[in-house]
Chain A
Amino acid sequence: MSAAGVKVELKPGAYKSGLKPVWCPGCGDFGVLNALYRAMAKLQIEPWNTVILSGIGCSSRLPGYVKTYGFNGVHGRALTLATGVKVARPELTVIAVGGDGDGLAIGGNHLIHSCRRNLDILYILMDNEIYGLTKGQVAPTTPTGDKTKSTYWGNPEPSVDPCELAISTGATWVARGFSGEMKGLTEMISAGLEHNGFSFLNVMSPCVTWRGDDQFKEMKAKVAQLPEDYDPSRRKNAVKYTREKDKITTGVLYEVEAPSLTDQLEDMKTRAMAGNGSQSTKEMLSSFYPSF
């Protein structure tokens, strides 16, 4: 609010922290960052009531570039930090971000349980199919057979589809985006922010350094849209667009309504406090007198 009580409209530029990204020129994460600025401006999100949290990796540097409360934590634990922020302060807007190694390998367990809990946050996973910051090792989303720094003879393991994982473990809003599609990505981020519950956005975000100049072109060529009459409320519909080989279908694959963790905890609090109000220390201690 300005002095006159008139709300000042926040433009995308108002969300820039002023810190210059350390990302390589051409990195897909720039697209995600710009889409995030735009989505926040679209929803007029108040920076001081917003927390963006991350783990470790190239994409995990993102919180530093947004003028909100930010937390660049440790590897794989963005969602644990976000759980604490959201549960302790349910009124805040909470966004977690990170890469495929951070979110699916070292932090995979937390992803599963954040989905299951329907934690009311937006989680943006920037997927470049490689470990960038540690210089080019195989990741959980690297296709089988690909040569990387740590798979000299080709990747011997199958990859995971993050959207399929999120759907199967209880996320209530699951979308796939492409960092080169600014308009669609902006819409998805703002829709994810508005959804009540765990919103999982997997963004294909090419790595020019470790996946080569062609990764962007290849991804772009594969990008496809969901059919006009697509119904995202059916799990079996969504699953058709996972584990795709020749396409990258973007859009909201899955969306259902269910009580979020915040809803459940608020309900619990109401039940616990019914009639009594808050208990004092003495009242709590008194229940430990012997009672027969």
Chain B
Amino acid sequence: MPTRDLTFAIVGSGGDGVITTGDMLAQTGASVGLHVMKVEAYGPQIRGGESSCTVRVSADPIYAQGDLVQVLVVFNWADFAQFRGEILAAPDAIVLYEEADDTPREEIDLGPETDDVRWVPVPFIELAKESAGTKLAKNIVTLGLLSELFMLPQEPLEQAIKGKFAKKKPEVLEANLKGFEAGKIHASKITEAASGKRMQYTAGEPMLLMSGNELSAVAALHAGCRFFAGYPITPSSEVLHLLSELMPKVGGYLVQTEDELSAIGAVIGGSFAGVKSMTATSGPGLALMTEMLGLASMAEIPAVIIDVQRGGPSTGLPTKSEQSDLWQALWGSHGDAPRVVLAPADVEDCFHATVAAFNIAEEAQVPVIVLSDQFIAQRRETLSMLTLDHEVTGRQVPSAGDLRDYKRYKETKSGISPMSWPGMKGGEYQTNGLEHTEDGSPTSMFLTHEKMNAKRYRKLRRVRDKYSFYRHYGAEKADVGIICWGSSKGPVKEAVLKANGRGERVAAFVPQLLYPFPFHEFQEFIKTVSEVIVVELSYSAQFYKYLQTFLELPEGHTYVYKRSGGKNLTVSEVEDKIQKVLEMSAMRREVLV
């Protein structure tokens, strides 16, 4: 029987071409309109060391990385061992492994349920040497093998290989094409192994293949950002990289600063000067920016900060995802420093959340943190061009009347005062990290401080009323309602839809505006569910504890599923918790009867 959905994983050492193979698979899928999700994982080493690339290819829309791998390619079992507990084989997975690696089976941990796994030794190195004259071609051999075994589109793959080696000597391209052929021929000898796993699909229009970081960069330019200052940090650097190419093309400017202190300072400076400005960083960088986040808050200067979360604290797990910068983003400051926190929940959301962040920052003159994470920021997935558009708004500027006796921090009902910028005659003012009066002059008076604090916080009300982003999935009235945020959405959504498919009443609420929180919408949701599960990748349950600070979660009916990041949340984990709570709920009902 053919399939419409396959998850591949390729594992090897840094030099094995694992990532190239995954890339080409993903590009090929996207080129024929398949839905693709590609995730790379490495150790922290720059060269060498273990690396893996997981590619899910489906004829239908997908929301999560496949939990279990159906096709596993292993060049080296020692590298695979580094991903123990992260890459798990499906019970009937096909394992294509290097024949020359004689690691005993009993030393290999493929996952909890692997009795029916089909073990298929493949002489990758030998095939590559024989056909292409070098073992370096084994990844190309792999592509030939996979395409033939699983009925993947071969024409675009061949084009991809030609493209990749176009700039090399003709012999190199020829050798690789031979490698591709050798893979196909070898596949024809082992076709039985792939039974039940051949892809069936109808080719469609090509799709975009992008990562969250790439979308954030393009979104910033779409929003009108013309100044970016940043300091390299994994896993956010792709934003800096792509903008270094694109920013001058749209007439903007970019500086790689000496540190994150300078990056946020420059962003505040650029924005003060009237130009939409942004930086991108990860948890350790956000920590360094925290003092000046307060400055942006106090001086009421728009600023957009993308924080691509990784495992922490300290250097933590630089290449892996976690949802543990939440408290830092919400509350990291001295003093009472209002800011807005947005959380994109998937790759496409990185576009919308970034544009929204600029709109909010400019309208409310506040710093806005976009809490992305490694999982959505670095994975590439297929997208349609049609949905990648978003309204752009701007800053309220002083009228001619305002400029006659300009008060930068004029008291207003909304808390928002028209903001001038250099070049506007009559708009000159001094801004300040010190508490200040309406015209910007420093003061230490209690009364002014109280009044200005109120003004600054008042602005958030408008943000909440205008931008109560949230998503609601599943049943209108539910026995179990899941609350999660950020990249947890993918597996949660897929689990909820699967449960609904089985006739279970399950729903999910995913706020994308985390602060100020869409309180009313949340209260409405809570009324429609009997049991609540909060799901998050934070060991200390930061999200659950955050909700508790201002919400009443149903007492005795609230469960928390939390764990460390470092491994992506899976659909089966979420399904498992749903089942457990459904059982609890049923038991409770029995008692009530």
Contact = CB atoms under 8 A, between A and B. Distances in A.
A84 B269 contact: yes
A27 interface: no
Nearest to A284: B218
A85 B432 contact: no
B208 interface: yes
B258 A290 contact: no
A84 B159 contact: no
B422 A72 contact: no
A84 B266 contact: yes
B251 interface: yes
B269 A278 contact: no
A278 B250 contact: yes
A131 interface: no
A8 interface: no
Contacts of B110: none
Interface in B400-433: 421-433
A64 B430 contact: yes
A292 B159 contact: yes
Contacts of B299: 71
Nearest to B26: A290
A80 B269 contact: yes
Contacts of B227: 84, 87-88
Interface stretch (B47-55, B74-82, B271-279, B521-529): B271-279
A292 B429 contact: no
Contacts of B195: none
Interface string A69-91: 11111101101111111111110
A273 B429 contact: no
A3 interface: no
A89 B422 contact: yes
A220 interface: no
Contact of B273 (A51, A281, A292): A51
* Range of interface residues on B (Cβ < 8 Å): 35 or more
A165 interface: no
Contacts of A61: 442
A84 B267 contact: yes
The residue in A90, A268, A284 that gathers the most chain B C-beta atoms within 10 A of its C-beta is A284
B169 to A, nearest CB: 19
Interface stretch (B27-35, B545-553, B582-590): B27-35
A159 interface: no
B268 A81 contact: yes
B156 interface: yes
A107 B442 CA distance: 22
Contact of A288 (B209, B261, B434): B209
A236 interface: no
B429 A85 contact: no
B89 interface: no
B287 to A, nearest CB: 15
Interface of A: 17, 19, 47-51, 53, 56, 61, 63-64, 67-74, 76-77, 79-90, 92, 109-110, 112-113, 117, 261, 265, 268-269, 271-273, 276, 278-279, 281-282, 284-286, 288-292
Given A51-B422, A71-B430, 18 more contacts: A48-B425, A51-B273, A56-B433, A61-B442, A72-B431, A77-B261, A80-B269, A81-B265, A82-B269, A84-B227, A85-B272, A89-B270, A117-B255, A269-B253, A278-B250, A278-B251, A286-B385, A289-B207
